[in-house]
Amino acid sequence: MHASTITPLEACRRITADRPAFHWDGKLRWDVSTGTLEHLAGLVRPGMRTLEIGLGVSTVVLAANPDGHHTAVGISAHEFELITQYCRQIGVDLERTTFLQGPSDRVLPSVSGTFDLVLIDGAHAFPFPIVDWHYAGRLVPVGGLLILDDLPIPTVQVLHRFLITDPAWELVQLVDSRAATYRRVKEVTEGDLWKEQTVNKTYPNYRFLTPWPRTLVTTRRRLARSKSVRAALRRHPRVQTAVDRALRRFLG
């Protein structure tokens, strides 16, 4: 049986020295930061099952895990080839690495099993980060790790803000002001339990309305909580009708 001749940390050092260009459009290159790559290499343990959405230098580090099993999801066959060539060059065996080609929202639903570590660094357009987490996050067992890259991008930061309030996850570390690692601390709960999510604790929230309609709606809700007001409105239905007419006028 083949085995990588270098460790994830050694692969990280080679990448830092070689600077292989797996993502390059002729003007810009992009990958996880050096700090994030070193952080990732430090998390890898022999025998880990890892999953990665988005390919790059992180793929090399995760594939170098001795006795590990790595699954990488990406859309570019050319990037698969470049990564494969570089792995052969530096002594990273890909026998235990599986490449799945295609958009993550189509590929991930067919991925099964559990993964000790998941890296989300694929498409960043909305809603891909959330979709990737929806499918891949549920494959992380209690105690497993999730790494989210490119937090400065607003579409990714939306997911980060949710994760740091969700009781199923705990924030482990922020890296390079760009990435974050979280640990799952609770099992996945099925069902539409939106009322139990911290992010929904401000319900009902009418900030999407302009000021005057928002004032009307919130005032009406406050009044409706009063038993005496509800009784008065039942005795004087014209008042209720006038309020409803005003709401329809301002809400369009």
pLDDT of 2 reads 56
pLDDT of 225 reads 74
Q: How far apart are CA 53 and CA 183, in angstroms?
A: 18
Host domain of residue 105 = 8-200
Q: Kindly state the percentage of the chain with pLDDT values over 90.
A: 61
**Judgement on whether residues 45 and 108 belong to the same structural domain of the protein:** yes
**Judgement on whether residues 58 and 141 belong to the same structural domain of the protein:** yes
**Judgement on whether residues 244 and 162 belong to the same structural domain of the protein:** no
**Judgement on whether residues 166 and 228 belong to the same structural domain of the protein:** no
Residues 218-241: b if buried by 16+ CB within 10 A, e if exposed:
eebeeeeeeeeeeeebeeeeeeee
Mean pLDDT of the chain: 88
pLDDT of 29 reads 53
**Judgement on whether residues 19 and 75 belong to the same structural domain of the protein:** yes
pLDDT of 32 reads 83
Mean pLDDT of 88-112: 95
Q: Say whether pLDDT at 1 is over 50.
A: no
Q: Say whether pLDDT at 72 is over 50.
A: yes
Is residue 82 included in any domain, yes or no?
yes
Under DSSP, the state recorded for 95 is T
171: which strand partners?
182
Q: Say whether pLDDT at 82 is over 80.
A: yes
Ramachandran assignment for 218, one of left (phi > 0), alpha (psi -120 to 50 degrees), beta (any other): alpha
Q: Is 15 helix (H, G, I), strand (E, B) or coil?
A: helix
Of residues 45 and 218, the one with the higher pLDDT is 45
Mean pLDDT of 42-68: 94
Q: How many domains does the chain have?
A: 2
CATH of the domain at 27: 3.40.50.150
pLDDT of 248 reads 66
**Judgement on whether residues 115 and 219 belong to the same structural domain of the protein:** no
Is residue 3 included in any domain, yes or no?
no
CB atoms within 10 A of CB 202: 8
**Judgement on whether residues 190 and 219 belong to the same structural domain of the protein:** no
Q: Say whether pLDDT at 241 is over 90.
A: no
**Judgement on whether residues 79 and 168 belong to the same structural domain of the protein:** yes
Is residue 68 included in any domain, yes or no?
yes
**Judgement on whether residues 178 and 224 belong to the same structural domain of the protein:** no
Is residue 1 included in any domain, yes or no?
no
Q: How far apart are CA 184 and CA 117, in angstroms?
A: 10
Digit-coded pLDDT (tens) for 115-142? 999 999 999 999 999 999 999 999 999 9
**Judgement on whether residues 181 and 147 belong to the same structural domain of the protein:** yes
pLDDT of 30 reads 62
Q: How far apart are CA 23 and CA 46, in angstroms?
A: 28
**Judgement on whether residues 129 and 221 belong to the same structural domain of the protein:** no
Q: Where are the beta strands (DSSP E) in the chain?
A: 49-53, 69-74, 97-101, 117-120, 145-148, 169-175, 179-184
Confidence of residue 92 (pLDDT cuts 50, 70, 90): very high
Burial of 199 (0-12, 13-18, 19+ CB in 10 A): middle
Closest C-alpha among 46, 52, 35 to residue 8 = 46
Stated pTM of the model: 0.84
Is residue 230 included in any domain, yes or no?
yes
Digit-coded pLDDT (tens) for 150-200? 999 999 999 999 999 999 999 999 998 899 999 999 998 888 888 888 888
**Judgement on whether residues 99 and 145 belong to the same structural domain of the protein:** yes
Mean pLDDT of 109-120: 97
